[in-house]
Structure 1
Amino acid sequence: MNVPSRILVYGVHGSGKSTLAQRLAERLGVPWYPVDDLLWEPGWVEVPVALQRSRIEAICRRDRWILDGAYHGWRDVPLARADLVVGLDYPRGLSFRRLLRRTMRRLATGEEICNGNRESLGSVLSRDAVLMWHLTGYGRERRRMRAWQRDPSGPPVLLFDDPAALDHWLAGLPPR
């Protein structure tokens, strides 16, 4: 089996991108670069898109990497270099339940997310809340993954609509 060394994990908010990226990194011995750490500074200050792009370009120039997302200002960068896109194309109910459960856990525990940032009741109830991003972006993200899968000029795309199928695929990957 030809093991990919540049992997983009993609999916709607709450689908498990970061969890999968961490599992792939451990299994394959490929470095994982959590995207949220590259996009958010302390105090939930968003990094300017030009700097986000520069950071992603630096990572994608490397021979080995895993990214757990790709966003509007630089989505083209990892797509141009990826050996594989793993798309988490789960049903809306599943991904929303996962996101809601994760959000409630983070609120209850004060768990740090990235660069010292934490979710708060105010952030969860705001118009920019991750729960709202899920509701408004779900269909768009699924259509995007499916279009990538149909595009013969892009990297191969594996879409998983069921966590058990993903686990089966992961079990078949060679350990590092």
Structure 2
Amino acid sequence: MSTHPARILVYGVTGSGKTTLARRLGERLGLPWHSVDDLTWEPGWVQVPQEVQRRRIEAICAQDRWILDHAYGAWLDVPLARAELVVGLDFPRWLSLGRLLRRTLVRLIRRDRVCNGNVESLRVSLSKDSIVLWHFSSYARKRDRMRRWRADPGEPQVLLFRRPRELEAWLRTLG
């Protein structure tokens, strides 16, 4: 019998490494992990309607075992109500922004497929819908949210990592 949590929400600022961590946790703990971007974006960068997103997330969170790599505000209450653990990536802006810029550049050059086969484009990367602009507009809100959860005894347990080496040390304890 495992003593590890079976329902985990990975949360953090844009570019902090949520998806990579969720995948690693899933492999290490033998838990199914779900890419939220794949649940919320259809081919052609068509956003799934919020009520459909919510139903998809409710179906996952009704299960006994899962990892989500993010939670959008429109349905954040769903995984938060069921999560046994929130792993918060509270990295400094320079680190998460650097990771985001590097990832975006690599995806642009390689034309990597993400989010149900979508490809990032230079046009979108420089538009008002840019993920880089989203980083700037959401950074403080997401950090504040993680810190509030950690301070609230009514929320699930929150492990907040401010440096990648702290996260790596914790991952090594998982066996």
The two structures have a TM-score, normalised by structure 1, of: 0.98
2:112 paired residue number: 111
Corresponding residue SS for 1:73:
helix
Matched, 1:54 2:55: yes
Q: Which residue of 2 aligns with 1:42?
A: 43
Matched residue SS, 2:73: coil
CA distance in 2: counterparts of 1:131 and 1:80, whole angstroms: 30
Asked whether 1:96 is paired with 2:101, we answer no
Q: For residue 73 of structure 1, report the CA deviation from its aligned partner.
A: 1.1
Alignment match, 1:25: 26
Provide, for residues 37-76 of structure 1, a one-character-per-residue CA deviation record: whole Å limited to 9, x for no partner. Answer: 0000000000000000000000000000000000111000
Q: Which residue of structure 1 aligns with residue 76 of structure 2? A: 75
Partner of 1:130: 131
2:142 matched to which residue of 1? 141
Give 5+ residue unaligned stretches, structure 1. Answer: none
Shift in Å at residue 130 of structure 1? 0.4
Give SS of 1:133's match.
helix
Secondary structure of the equivalent of 2:75? Answer: coil
Equivalent-residue separation in structure 2 for 1:42 and 1:105 (angstroms): 20
CA RMSD between the two structures: 0.8
Instruction: Return the offset for 1:121.
Output: 0.4
CA distance in 2, matches of 1:122, 1:156: 40
TM superposition score normalised by structure 2:
0.98
Structure-2 residue corresponding to 1:153: 154
**Which residue of 2 is the match for residue 84 of structure 1?**
85
CA distance in 2, matches of 1:41, 1:113: 10
Instruction: Determine the structure 2 residue equivalent to 1:10.
Output: 11
